[in-house]
Amino acid sequence: MGSRVHLSVVLALIAMCALPGAGAQEVPEISLYVNDLASPGVLLEDEEDALTWLCLEIDTNTTVEVAIVTVNTTQPLGIDLYAVETFEQNAIGKVGKDNGLLILVSVDERQWRIEVGYGLEGVLNDAKVGRLGDEFLGPPLASEDYFGGLRDVTDAIYTELRNNYDPGGGTGQTPDLWYLDWRFIAIGIGITVGLGIITRGRIFLFIPIVFRRAGFGGGRSGGGGAKRRF
């Protein structure tokens, strides 16, 4: 009985360590580049991979960081503030360039918003972003073709960037999508030792995920963009 109690305490601590403050934040922590946070998800695994490779190509060739996020709802913040807060808290875009772009889809609210970083406002002003969203994103979303809409609008944005955006150097460098998370390594060592003591070395119940998806580069939102219902 005592061992079960101790084991439950250890597992509870695992959950607390692995997800710090998850219940407290109103906007998600996201990673490069695609984050299907809707439940159930709206993207298949191969669709998510295809979008990730497209965003990676954009990043490599233009240095622009595109974040794609789907959620069930943006309440209580509403989609405008939710987009700004998600952009700012995850620092989408490169430091000094502020060349990030967020494509946010709220499934239950049937809304989308494209948030643009300061460094892209000259290329992707509100009117142009609205037009691209109306033409390439909204119609597929209305028929629940989430992948088609996200792929087409991202590709259209890529075309605009290739034709009109000067990245000012730094292209051709493939970003690292994964990094070694030393925090999880430390947690894993502690848990392994604890479980070894509790089970007298007979069982190991937890293997930590030591590689995590990389985050964004430190950019700022420009507050511009466009939103629509679909």
**Per-residue pLDDT at 22:** 40
**125 shares a domain with 12:** no
- 106 membership: H or E segment, kind and range: strand 100-106
Q: What is the pLDDT of residues 145-197, one digit of tens each?
A: 999 999 999 999 999 999 999 998 778 777 777 555 545 445 555 555 555 56
pTM confidence score: 0.76
Q: What is the pLDDT of residues 82-106, one digit of tens each?
A: 999 999 999 999 999 999 999 999 9
Phi, psi of 98 (to 5 degrees): 50, 45
Q: How many domains does the chain have?
A: 2
Residue 27 lies in a domain: no
Q: What is the pLDDT of residues 22-56, one digit of tens each?
A: 444 589 999 999 999 999 999 999 999 999 999 99
**97 shares a domain with 11:** no
Domain that holds residue 205: 2-19+179-213
- Which candidate, 45, 41, 32, places its Cα nearest to that of 70? 41
**11 shares a domain with 71:** no
Residue 7 lies in a domain: yes
**13 shares a domain with 69:** no
| Structure letter (DSSP) for residue 4 | H
- b/e map 111-147, b = 16+ CB within 10 Å: bbbbbbbbbbbebbbeebbbebbeebbbebbeeeebb
